[in-house]
Structure 1
């Protein structure tokens, strides 16, 4: 038996020897043990500290993409129901006095009873729609658009009703409804269906504009503007812009469209004496010569100011005693501020903010372009309209006659808003990792597990 020379080691299973590797030349052994919770939290804390406050806030807005979306579902459902309940309380408070003054024989609960009935129907429809399969909305997109166009055309017939210069209602007997509310929802779903199919061609200008802008959006905008309802036309324009932007249309087209739209809006104001009066009242240029033009906005500001921090108490508003026209509709936020104070208005603003964040998370976590575009369009409708209404009653914007979603009186508007929320709830229930391509969601043969 031969001895092994010093400084060498015997290879296992062989008689050959090899030089021993010095300890200092051996690679360091890396521990495979998982990091402790404390070390992970320390790493996250250092990473969060390196980010700026804007980045951290935006990460909070986006949420955790690994979650299944149930948090967003319940945030959307909870904030919507809370806003609807607040709206019912404020409609009861603000409409009771007007109902008695207009018809002494009528009940002070008539308008509240109608609003409550519409809210029950809307909540039921919302829950039913939230259970629809995702592909059903794509199939219903074109029929919904055609139906909304037909309803808007009926407004121009003797069935249409004109209120305060706006022809935006259908009346069949005692039943009245606003077809433009259905047009907002139909446009969001239809534009999403069209743009998601044309995703690969959206860089080409003809495919970006046809048929979403021409003729779809232009037809809806034109029919609403024929009825002289500029406020609803602005909301439909918001939905159209949001869907086109999320669909991937090039930004330079928005610049051209924005210039054309601004010129058209200025022209419509110049040719309408009523709109010019509202602009002058907003700027405070005709309050001395035409006090009636500034009356509604001025009384609304009085109501907000008299509410203070805590409000005068639910049902105790003074301005609702026929001082504010349309106290239960367009200017209901002023009655809310008077009765519930600044605290109540902040609660409403927070509920709208929660709704916006939750809808954004649903769109951000989903891989289906249809879901992203449709959710963005509905979000632009509800949150954008709320911004227009609150800006109008607080004096930041001129009076344009836009109701506050979920809160203002108006049965068909409330029902359609709840149905739109039902569409987003359906998206929140679907898989966040779903794709628009059905084949991509089908596991390949190599990834399928063979049966044992």
Structure 2
């Protein structure tokens, strides 16, 4: 047997892609999702229990987050049994529904939070349509391209209808609500969908450069966003103290040490960190559970991403590959942006940490997105198992025929 770096690299690649394991992707997706959801509910309770929100009591966030978590997990297992054709039938419906919800944000049903108009509130219940738009676009764009490839061929004429008009419509309404963080996430999803659809990298780089110009202009036109950029660069000489949130988050992470202060023992969550239960919940997690707890959460996200990568790699179905890649980009890209934001690697953008941050609609949509990929993984494992069984039975049939002859 040949030894050296090449065989080792081949073995590592086989492990990464799950070549010799038919069911590993399923469990690598399901396990981290359940663990992250559980950690998120616990951390929302810990981070939000010290504040009375609107007189609803310390456990208001727990009741809301826990309810959405239970509903999401029930739907997760239900969706995990769906066939691909079910998503084909729902793709257009999901897209149209998400556009309608985004339009409703600018009616009297719309609700503004922290300067961003991106919520709908009806009968005491609130929902964030931009979260539904992410999931709808991931499923619909994959379906649209998979159908288009049947007639135009792989990698041809991708801009219509993925970017124009539907991708542009979603980005327009989200940007109209001044939610720049979600705009960036949608742009990432669109770029990955186009790349997986066969668009050349040079075109994507050119588009990214143009998009960067627009983001820069949008940032310069907003005094609040400019303050965040200045705070990221260390320019804190302003009456509003733009560095306060970031500095308090760093204090929380630093005081956690290796093992943390203990669950529920955070000091900075006592009104020192703005949005402690939402965008900056990772700092509270690091303070209470320490560096090891923070690394555990990061490891769960990496495992979830690896499971999704195995699903996308081990398929020949364009719909499965593109949808899985888009959802993986959404969840892992948003997690990276949030963690980089609270650790100072990026400016404060205002994106929640998937599964962990408070917010029922964000949690529900993230779980449902995993449910889509989980159904792919389940059917893929079944197909691979059937193929393996047929390959093993074929030689036996041939041997029996030869022995009879």
TM-score, normalized by the shorter chain, greater than 0.5: yes
| Superposed displacement of residue 430, structure 1 | 1.2
Query: Which one of 59, 72, 78 corresponds to residue 14 of structure 2?
Result: 59
Q: 1:302 to 1:53 in 2, by over 3 A?
A: farther
Q: Does 1:424 align with 2:376?
A: no
User: Which residue in the other structure is 1:157 paired with?
Assistant: 107
Task: Tell me if the contact between 2:121 and 2:127 (Cα under 8 Å) persists in the aligned partners.
Answer: yes
Query: Which one of 197, 208, 212 corresponds to residue 262 of structure 1?
Result: 212
Give the secondary-structure state (helix, strand or coil) at the position aligned to 2:158: helix
Query: Which one of 183, 188, 192 corresponds to residue 233 of structure 1?
Result: 183
Q: Does 1:117 align with 2:75?
A: no
Give the secondary-structure state (helix, strand or coil) at the position aligned to 2:351: coil
Q: Distance in 1 between matches of 2:94 and 2:115?
A: 28
Q: Does 1:78 align with 2:31?
A: yes
Task: Tell me if the contact between 1:368 and 1:434 (Cα under 8 Å) persists in the aligned partners.
Answer: no
Task: Tell me if the contact between 2:18 and 2:24 (Cα under 8 Å) persists in the aligned partners.
Answer: no
User: Which residue in the other structure is 2:92 paired with?
Assistant: 142
Q: Any idea what the Cα deviations from partners look like across 1:368-423, whole Å, max 9, x if unmatched?
A: 11000000000000010000000000000000110000000001111111111110
User: Which residue in the other structure is 1:213 paired with?
Assistant: 163
| Superposed displacement of residue 194, structure 1 | 1.1
Q: Distance in 2 between matches of 1:403 and 1:53?
A: 38
Q: Which runs of 5+ in 2 are unaligned?
A: 385-396, 398-405
Query: Which one of 300, 308, 312 corresponds to residue 249 of structure 2?
Result: 300
Give the secondary-structure state (helix, strand or coil) at the position aligned to 1:152: helix
User: Which residue in the other structure is 1:344 paired with?
Assistant: 293
Task: Tell me if the contact between 2:249 and 2:273 (Cα under 8 Å) persists in the aligned partners.
Answer: yes
| Superposed displacement of residue 108, structure 1 | 1.3
| Superposed displacement of residue 250, structure 1 | 2.0
| Superposed displacement of residue 272, structure 1 | 1.0
Equivalenced residue count is 384
| Superposed displacement of residue 247, structure 1 | 1.1
Task: Tell me if the contact between 1:365 and 1:432 (Cα under 8 Å) persists in the aligned partners.
Answer: no
User: Which residue in the other structure is 2:192 paired with?
Assistant: 242
Q: Distance in 1 between matches of 2:188 and 2:336?
A: 12
Q: 1:202 to 1:160 in 2, by over 3 A?
A: farther
Equivalent residue runs for 1:195-206 within 5 Å: 195-199=145-149, 201=152
| Superposed displacement of residue 92, structure 1 | 0.6
More helix by share: 2
Q: Which runs of 5+ in 1 are unaligned?
A: 1-42, 436-448
Q: Any idea what the Cα deviations from partners look like across 1:49-75, whole Å, max 9, x if unmatched?
A: 2418766544332121x543x211111
Q: 1:237 to 1:80 in 2, by over 3 A?
A: same
Give the secondary-structure state (helix, strand or coil) at the position aligned to 1:309: coil
Give the secondary-structure state (helix, strand or coil) at the position aligned to 1:51: helix
Q: Distance in 2 between matches of 1:191 and 1:197?
A: 10
Q: Distance in 1 between matches of 2:78 and 2:5?
A: 46
Q: Distance in 2 between matches of 1:153 and 1:134?
A: 29
Query: Which one of 172, 191, 204 corresponds to residue 122 of structure 2?
Result: 172
- Report the TM-score, using the length of structure 1 for normalisation: 0.82
User: Which residue in the other structure is 2:342 paired with?
Assistant: 393
Q: Distance in 2 between matches of 1:284 and 1:52?
A: 48
Q: Does 1:91 align with 2:44?
A: yes
Q: 1:214 to 1:432 in 2, by over 3 A?
A: farther
| Superposed displacement of residue 331, structure 1 | 0.3
Q: Does 1:223 align with 2:173?
A: yes
Q: 1:78 to 1:273 in 2, by over 3 A?
A: same
Q: Distance in 2 between matches of 1:61 and 1:317?
A: 37
Q: Distance in 2 between matches of 1:223 and 1:165?
A: 15
Q: Does 1:407 align with 2:356?
A: yes
Q: 1:106 to 1:155 in 2, by over 3 A?
A: closer
| Superposed displacement of residue 320, structure 1 | 0.4
| Superposed displacement of residue 434, structure 1 | 6.6
User: Which residue in the other structure is 1:15 paired with?
Assistant: none
Q: Bigger CA drift: 323-332 or 238-247?
A: 238-247
- Report the TM-score, using the length of structure 2 for normalisation: 0.91
Q: Distance in 1 between matches of 2:153 and 2:230?
A: 42
Task: Tell me if the contact between 2:138 and 2:327 (Cα under 8 Å) persists in the aligned partners.
Answer: yes
Highest Rg: 1 or 2? Answer: 1
Q: Distance in 2 between matches of 1:58 and 1:170?
A: 45
| Superposed displacement of residue 367, structure 1 | 1.4
Q: Distance in 2 between matches of 1:203 and 1:79?
A: 33
